[in-house]
Amino acid sequence: MKIVKKISEIKEIVSNFKKNKKEINLIPTMGNIHTGHLSLLSKANKFDGINIVSIFVNPTQFNDEDDFNNYPNTFEADMEILSKANCSIIFAPSRNQVYPDGIKSEKTVFKYRDILCDLYRLGHFDGVTTIVKILFNLIEPSKVFFGEKDFQQLKIIEQLIFQNNLKIHLIKCPSIRDADGMSFSSRYSTFSKDEKSKFKKCAQIINANLLKLKRDFNHKILDNIEKELRSYGISKIDYFEVRNEETLSLSVNNESSRLFIAFYINKVRVIDNFLLY
């Protein structure tokens, strides 16, 4: 496994791959590698191509400086984990390498916006599309792998590929869930013992109501989830909404729909989505 930190080096490597007609599978991450990330690599292993995992904590997608500063940095452990998972190259550039002219982002994707996380994390998706487009330009992948946990992000990246007419196949990978039924997230590694206990209880509340929602679509069930969480002490809730997974419009039934959630356990933002069909 090769560690690449310079733009010039990754360009040379990609150029050589292209000359030898080798395809590239890109798995973009911000590090703190967990089971969810490894599932993306496992999926990539089912396709031909060289697996490149990028690790870059992208400042332009954070609208909270404390959130950026507290994001877990586990690069040494990440290297050890990825070395055992058929990762050929880790691309881990510095901030100056990625943004030589200063940190900035641009709004280029307008579809699937002004809803869900976009309402609560202003500028977040502009930062996401900016860094993803930079990675696409540098690495020129044939395939890119994203998990369904960040479903709105997935749809926006799909639109980014479409509107730029990029010859990149977006592989959508199902969420990998823990024993409590919640998707894995790097941020959850920062939970204290008490926060882990709260997270477990929240998962129980959500999953109990999820079963009811699957049987009978009813907005009262969504209200009940919020009510139970607030009674348990979760005061900051961004949304509990059922939306169509194709259009992300609000749903009136379970058909092609998902439950989208976002709330906070102290300073850690929990987001997830659940199939309702």
Which residues are known catalytic residues?
A: 37
Q: What is the 3-state secondary structure (H, E, C) of the chain?
A: CEEECCHHHHHHHHHHHHHCCCCEEEEEECCCCCHHHHHHHHHHCCCCCEEEEEECCCHHHCCCHHHHHHCCCCHHHHHHHHHCCCCCEEECCCHHHHCCCCCCCCCCCCCCCCCCHHHHCCCHHHHHHHHHHHHHHHHCCCEEEEECCCHHHHHHHHHHHHHCCCCCEEEEECCCECCCCCECCHHHHHCCHHHHHHHHHHHHHHHHHHHHHHHCCCHHHHHHHHHHHHHHCCCCEEEEEEEECCCCCECCCCCCEEEEEEEEECCEEEEEEEECC
